[in-house]
Chain A
């Protein structure tokens, strides 16, 4: 089940709250408006009826009154309907057989008892008000006022109020969305900081600008501090271990060289053992150096102007490889701002890697802000490409563990050196087979 997000929930709560509030206000104002309007209408109707009743009363006072003429003389407008009860018969302006049924019995009884009265009724499906006034000689005058117009006005008012309530609810939802965006803004900052740390920038800390979120900020920064301390401790441990190994290694190296000098005086078994010993001391040494290098890899690059083409040729020479391997991209300056020692080591490690696992390098390319090493090997499977720059990952050739076997740290160091320059190390397919290792060094071109 997909959880409803915090922002959606807060917005919904805001919307419901706004809807309830506006509905209440609308209802109360509707009711009070309705009562006021009805009361006003009733007062007007009663006043008009009294006036008309006085006219009719005067009209029927003669011996043979013309009832129809009297009724017709009244100025009633379209929404008023008059009825006269006189001499036990009902009279209206037009012949209306149902005239008598329009007046409720209770009102008839009241007027018969000489009491004026008013009552709400439904007439032709519309609300109406009937006002009855007793006249002289047992007659009674009734006026029926249609309230349809008023009802329609109130219906319109109700419609408008409902629309307003809905709009207020929508406004509440929008407000909730807006407010939560602001409330969640510090959370977004936390997410950014966490991403920064995950990307390796351990100096990322949250500024304490939001007092209400102080516990979060403090906890986050504590976590980052802990992480930094822990990584630092690990790194220092690796550095200390490697460092402590250097002194005994120096003894081993010197002592092994003393024995190796006398190999000819040894029997064949001892000589073989000395050979093994010397080789392993060499490998041990390389491993310690690589571990130390890695433990220091977080240090920033010491950039200086370096002729990278010359450096690449020199790295090839140092490995007894032809300088012609180095290819220069046309129109690219070869003096870059890089850490000379680290670039030299990275390039050397890539070339050593090509020699060990790639059947030897076929080209060392110096391009615009990148160097590439192509090899003649079987290439790197895509799955291996993701982990090949990890520590202690070795290629298939390493299974045999020959004399030329590396430490398993070479490419990890390459990646770290590239990262120290703000760049990356990647491996791709070389067109025509083999692998292509590439170090991107952004911002090193003059």
Chain B
């Protein structure tokens, strides 16, 4: 049984989503403000956080940033706002996924399940500790570690899985759609999620994000990881 923290200021949505998530097999802890949410997360460390952006007091973006300082928990934004600007801002603050209200409970549950998977989407059988090397970049999928020039790099779970997915196909182009399907489990979703995560990863693993060396964009096709 996995625990979900729901931060939502609308009482009715909070109540109904809590019930629906419990029906899907989650234990849901629902709070109405970002401050409460931060306190609860520090205390109980839920497996996944669902958060609205428009909250009284501290807003959702700030709350996501604060959680991210200490926690790599998957964060899914559930918001009525669907401007590109809001979506990108929330993802850049550190959210792993973004759904627009109203979202079907089944879809939300599917996304939560996908985000909670760890490591590669298809891990090799048996206890192996492989090291994938791309120039000065070292990825240890089983250990959940990334090192750049020997220095560990801190990434979120979703960023890690995105990098592993690309690392499993060295030099091969993966389309945004393929990445969305394999990392986020979306059959048909918003590809901006991929773009923002690639951008976040570049900040962590590239020396010059304007001229990426490892994680490169192949125009019109997608992304690839190269030494």
Q: Quick one: which of A250, A307, A314 contacts B220, CB cutoff 8 A?
A: A307
Chain A residue nearest to B16 in the complex (CB): A254
A305 touches B219 (CB 8 A): yes
The segment from A25-33, A241-249, A433-441 found at the interface with B is A241-249
Q: Which residues between 247 and 295 of chain A lie within 8 Å of chain B, taking CB atoms?
A: 247-255, 257-258, 261, 285, 288, 292
B102 touches A253 (CB 8 A): yes
A250 touches B101 (CB 8 A): yes
A246 touches B80 (CB 8 A): yes
Asked whether any CB of chain B lies closer than 8 Å to the CB of A23, the reply is no
Asked whether any CB of chain A lies closer than 8 Å to the CB of B187, the reply is yes
Q: Number of A interface residues, CB 8 Å?
A: 27
Chain B residue nearest to A336 in the complex (CB): B220
B102 touches A250 (CB 8 A): yes
How far, in whole Å, are A246 and B101 apart by their CA atoms in the complex? 6
A258 touches B13 (CB 8 A): no
For A247, A249, A307, the residue with the greatest tally of chain B CB atoms inside 10 Å of its CB is A247
Contact string, B69-104, partner A, CB cutoff 8 A, digits 1/0? 000000000101110100000000000000011111
Please give the distance in Å from A361's CB to the nearest CB on chain B: 17
B104 touches A247 (CB 8 A): no
A252 touches B102 (CB 8 A): yes
Chain A residue nearest to B18 in the complex (CB): A254
B17 touches A254 (CB 8 A): yes
Asked whether any CB of chain B lies closer than 8 Å to the CB of A203, the reply is no
Contact string, B89-129, partner A, CB cutoff 8 A, digits 1/0? 00000000000111111100000000000000000000000
B23 touches A247 (CB 8 A): no
B104 touches A253 (CB 8 A): yes
A247 touches B187 (CB 8 A): no
Chain A residue nearest to B188 in the complex (CB): A318
Asked whether any CB of chain B lies closer than 8 Å to the CB of A158, the reply is no
A257 touches B220 (CB 8 A): no
Q: A243-B80, A247-B101, A252-B102 are in contact. Are A258 and B16 (CB under 8 A)?
A: yes
Q: Please, which residues of chain A bring their CB within 8 A of the CB of B59?
A: none
How far, in whole Å, are A257 and B108 apart by their CA atoms in the complex? 12
Contact string, B193-227, partner A, CB cutoff 8 A, digits 1/0? 00000000000000000000000000111000000
Chain B residue nearest to A242 in the complex (CB): B80
Asked whether any CB of chain B lies closer than 8 Å to the CB of A61, the reply is no
A257 touches B20 (CB 8 A): yes
B188 touches A314 (CB 8 A): yes
Please give the distance in Å from B28's CB to the nearest CB on chain A: 11
Q: Please, which residues of chain A bring their CB within 8 A of the CB of B81?
A: 243
Asked whether any CB of chain B lies closer than 8 Å to the CB of A72, the reply is no
B80 touches A247 (CB 8 A): yes
The dominant DSSP class at the A interface is: helix
Asked whether any CB of chain A lies closer than 8 Å to the CB of B44, the reply is no
Q: Please, which residues of chain A bring their CB within 8 A of the CB of B100?
A: 246
Q: Please, which residues of chain A bring their CB within 8 A of the CB of B104?
A: 253, 257
For B84, B104, B190, B191, the residue with the greatest tally of chain A CB atoms inside 10 Å of its CB is B104
Asked whether any CB of chain A lies closer than 8 Å to the CB of B29, the reply is no
Chain A residue nearest to B190 in the complex (CB): A341
Asked whether any CB of chain A lies closer than 8 Å to the CB of B175, the reply is yes
How far, in whole Å, are A292 and B82 apart by their CA atoms in the complex? 9
Q: A246-B101, A340-B191 are in contact. Are A251 and B221 (CB under 8 A)?
A: no
Asked whether any CB of chain B lies closer than 8 Å to the CB of A155, the reply is no
Q: Please, which residues of chain B bring their CB within 8 A of the CB of A285?
A: 102
Asked whether any CB of chain A lies closer than 8 Å to the CB of B36, the reply is no
A335 touches B177 (CB 8 A): no
Please give the distance in Å from B11's CB to the nearest CB on chain A: 9
Asked whether any CB of chain B lies closer than 8 Å to the CB of A126, the reply is no
Asked whether any CB of chain A lies closer than 8 Å to the CB of B58, the reply is no
A254 touches B187 (CB 8 A): no
Q: Quick one: which of B16, B23, B106 contacts A251, CB cutoff 8 A?
A: B16
Contact string, A296-312, partner B, CB cutoff 8 A, digits 1/0? 00000010011100100
Contact string, B1-32, partner A, CB cutoff 8 A, digits 1/0? 00000000010110111011001000000000
B106 touches A257 (CB 8 A): yes
Q: Please, which residues of chain B bring their CB within 8 A of the CB of A314?
A: 177, 188
How far, in whole Å, are A318 and B84 apart by their CA atoms in the complex? 23
How far, in whole Å, are A252 and B188 apart by their CA atoms in the complex? 24
How far, in whole Å, are A243 and B105 apart by their CA atoms in the complex? 19
Q: Please, which residues of chain B bring their CB within 8 A of the CB of A250?
A: 10, 13, 16-17, 78, 80, 101-103
B221 touches A307 (CB 8 A): yes
Q: Please, which residues of chain A bring their CB within 8 A of the CB of B103?
A: 250, 253
How far, in whole Å, are A292 and B12 apart by their CA atoms in the complex? 23
How far, in whole Å, are A209 and B177 apart by their CA atoms in the complex? 53
Q: A253-B102, A314-B177 are in contact. Are A306 and B13 (CB under 8 A)?
A: no
Contact string, A130-170, partner B, CB cutoff 8 A, digits 1/0? 00000000000000000000000000000000000000000
Q: Which residues between 44 and 79 of chain A lie within 8 Å of chain B, taking CB atoms?
A: none
Please give the distance in Å from A192's CB to the nearest CB on chain B: 34
Q: Please, which residues of chain A bring their CB within 8 A of the CB of B187?
A: 318
How far, in whole Å, are A246 and B19 apart by their CA atoms in the complex? 19
User: Can you name 5 A-B pairs with beta carbons within 8 Å?
Assistant: A249-B101, A250-B101, A250-B103, A253-B103, A305-B219
Which residues of B line the A interface, CB within 8 A?
Answer: 10, 12-13, 15-17, 19-20, 23, 78, 80-82, 84, 100-106, 175, 177, 187-188, 190-191, 219-221
Q: In the complex, given contacts A246-B102, A253-B104, what are 18 additional A-B residue pairs having Cβ atoms less than 8 angstroms apart?
A: A243-B81, A247-B13, A247-B80, A250-B103, A251-B13, A252-B102, A253-B105, A254-B19, A255-B19, A255-B20, A257-B106, A258-B16, A258-B20, A261-B23, A307-B175, A307-B220, A314-B188, A341-B191
